[in-house]
Amino acid sequence: MGKTSAGFWTVLGVMLLGGCAHQSQVKVDNSEQPYR
């Protein structure tokens, strides 16, 4: 495996792991809702 190929796979792996680690949190505003 050459340096270029190893670097490519390293960058690709980091990008995939970074994409999987991101989780968006949705904030729900219940301030105007009556208590149930």
Task: Give the tens place of pLDDT for each residue, 6-35.
Answer: 899 999 988 888 776 666 677 777 777 777
Higher pLDDT, 12 or 2: 12
Query: Residue 12 and residue 22: Cα distance in Å, rounded?
Result: 16
pTM assigned to the model: 0.47
